[in-house]
Structure 1
């Protein structure tokens, strides 16, 4: 199991630094929309689009490692999902999946986290 060596909230994003030096910056909104808790998964299975009910100014207010993953607490009060490390490592937000599908052969990346050396 690959476990990040560092994770932190940075603005409206979760930043994960992996043992190999790789990093991810995942938006709180995308993580909240993909929450793996039972009620959220059930809503998505019933065809509900959770993204429409997420506040635009959503942030992370808590991060609690739980062994096999991390529990995230969002500014809208939601705190039920535990996001497994493997899931986070492989997570591509829906908007990014659409962009990658629409532009075959291209590579995308986001800006480096502000505290990372250049």
Structure 2
């Protein structure tokens, strides 16, 4: 299930996804960076480690990849592609 609309607010540091079921989801940029699904970040988390991410990190580019989004972060990280189901299951920003 793909979102109907995607918005990125650098000032609020949130990614907004509007899903077909009417749900609006707000995801914080820093948490998205911490939960990056790339193999390197996943391996880090599987070792029981928590990636250190500056809370000021922002998503500077959003690239649709068909089955999800590639997010480019202000710290230069851009390896992860976030599948739609992965994003839909993330906890919204506070």
Identify whether the pair has TM-score above 0.5, normalized to the shorter chain. yes
- 1:21-60, Cα deviation, whole Å (9 max, x unpaired): 211000011111111000000111112111xx21121111
Counterparts of 1:68-79 in structure 2 under 5 Å?
68-79=67-78
Name the counterpart of 1:37: 38
Gaps of 5+ in 2: none
Maintained 8 Å contact 1:8/1:63: no
Maintained 8 Å contact 1:72/1:82: yes
RMSD of equivalent CA atoms = 1.5
Name the counterpart of 1:67: 66
Moved >6 Å (runs of 4+): none
Select the structure with the greater relative contact order (CA < 8 A; seq sep ≥ 6). Answer: 2
SS at match of 1:87: helix
Name the counterpart of 1:23: 24
Partner Cα separation in structure 2 for residue 33 and residue 56 of structure 1: 10
TM-score w.r.t. the length of structure 2 is 0.90
TM-score w.r.t. the length of structure 1 is 0.73
SS at match of 1:61: strand
| Larger relative helix fraction | 1
| Larger relative strand fraction | 2
Partner Cα separation in structure 1 for residue 62 and residue 88 of structure 2: 16
The number of equivalent residue pairs is 92
Gaps of 5+ in 1: 97-109, 111-118
Larger Rg: 1
